[in-house]
Amino acid sequence: MAIQAGLAALIFAALIGFLLTQWSKLPNYDWRFRPGWLAISAVGIAGFYLAQCEIWRFILRSLGEDLAAWPARGAWAKSLLARYVPTSALMPVVRALIAEQHGVKKRVTLASVAYEVLLAFCAAVIGGAYFVITLPSLDDQPARFAILAVIPLVLLVLHPRIFHRLADFALGKLGREPLPLSLPSGRVLTIVCMYLGSWALIGIGTFAFAASLHALDAGDLPYIAASYPVAFCVSVLTFIVPSGLGTRDATLATSLAVVLPDAVATAIAVAFRLFQTAVELLFVGTVTLLARRRTG
């Protein structure tokens, strides 16, 4: 109980610090939100979190653990807020601790989180490849297609023979038993496609939020939607900061600035982060409450 209370206090403090730093970054802007577009953005963001939650449940089942639906959703939602603690390393620990209370082995939960991050990253590279390849400043650079080489590299690491050995080596160093199962190649490709769908949802949410602040053309949708996976990839590669704090926002602002004025792009990137966090907190609270009612 003391550990759980300490973790909760740490996560809450990190979240408050995150909100304060983001709020201070809001630029002076003539804020005129269009309610219709804002509602579409909220639906897209909520759908993104719901999709990612269900994908993790699918990964966990594929690894041989039969965790009931609502306890699994509760564990995923609660651990989501742990990403705001610096390095984001607390997130898998919190999820493993909660899942263990329902009989799920820690090593399997940690392996599921590793699959979750790597497969989401692979799907984000696929989604963000459109952004990089069509970037106007790189039109005359054939090297821009090199980003596509990352996809087979990630899939190679996730091959059952390679991933299983890496996971067993890491678990052995931690004094844990070997991983009982690993995902077959066909299942890996299926999950990558599922993550592509989730990135499409958050991409639509990003576009709708931008449209609530600034007039956009329908042709801007693919480009703006692809900018969020690019920002996610950068945040993963710079995981030392909490939940991509700073790096994700800066990358998103830079990406949006290709089709929007700089001031507007910055305003949208920071405001979208705050709006996304508000939807995230509402999602976590709703799922946690429903999980308690369904399992209580």
The DSSP line for 59-89 is HHHHTT----HHHHHHHHHHHHGGGGSTTST
Q: What domain range includes position 259?
A: 32-65+120-281
Tell me the per-residue pLDDT of 163-199, one tens digit each, with 9 for 90 and over.
778 777 776 776 767 777 788 888 988 999 999 999 9
Look at residue 5 in the predicted model and tell me its pLDDT: 59
Look at residue 11 in the predicted model and tell me its pLDDT: 62
pTM (global) more than 0.95: no
Look at residue 296 in the predicted model and tell me its pLDDT: 63
Residues of the chain with pLDDT > 90: what percent? Answer: 31
Look at residue 136 in the predicted model and tell me its pLDDT: 65
Closest CA to 125 of 93, 95, 91, 158: 158
The answer as to whether 79 is a domain residue is no
The answer as to whether 13 is a domain residue is no
Name the DSSP class of 28: P
Tell me the per-residue pLDDT of 82-120, one tens digit each, with 9 for 90 and over.
888 766 778 888 899 999 999 999 888 988 998 898 889
Rounded distance, CA 232 to CA 256, Å?
A: 14
DSSP string covering 13-33:
HHHHHHHHHHHHTPPP-----
The answer as to whether 38 is a domain residue is yes
Q: Which of 131-145, 181-195, 220-234 is predicted least confidently?
A: 131-145
How many beta carbons lie within 10 A of that of residue 100, not counting itself? 14
The answer as to whether 288 is a domain residue is no
Q: Which of 14-28, 125-139, 246-260, 276-290 is predicted least confidently?
A: 14-28
Q: Residue 86: what are its φ and ψ, rounded to 5°?
A: -45, 135
Tell me the per-residue pLDDT of 228-263, one tens digit each, with 9 for 90 and over.
998 888 877 766 454 445 577 778 888 888 888 888
Q: Which of 24-38, 183-197, 220-234, 275-289 is predicted least confidently?
A: 24-38
Look at residue 206 in the predicted model and tell me its pLDDT: 95
Give the confidence band of 137 by pLDDT, cuts at 50, 70, 90: low
The chain-wide mean pLDDT, for the chain, equals 83
Residue 98: which residues within 8 A CB-CB, separation 6 or more?
74, 75, 78, 79
The answer as to whether 104 is a domain residue is no
Higher pLDDT, 257 or 204: 204
> DSSP 3-state assignment of 254?
helix
Residue 61 Cα distances to 50, 112, 268, angstroms: 17, 9, 38
The answer as to whether 180 is a domain residue is yes
Look at residue 250 in the predicted model and tell me its pLDDT: 79
Asked if pLDDT for residue 272 goes beyond 70, the answer is yes
Tell me the per-residue pLDDT of 55-67, one tens digit each, with 9 for 90 and over.
999 999 999 888 9
Q: What domain count does the chain have?
A: 1
Tokens, residue 236: 């993963």
The answer as to whether 39 is a domain residue is yes
The answer as to whether 114 is a domain residue is no
Q: Average pLDDT, stretch 267-295? A: 90
Name the E strands within the chain: none
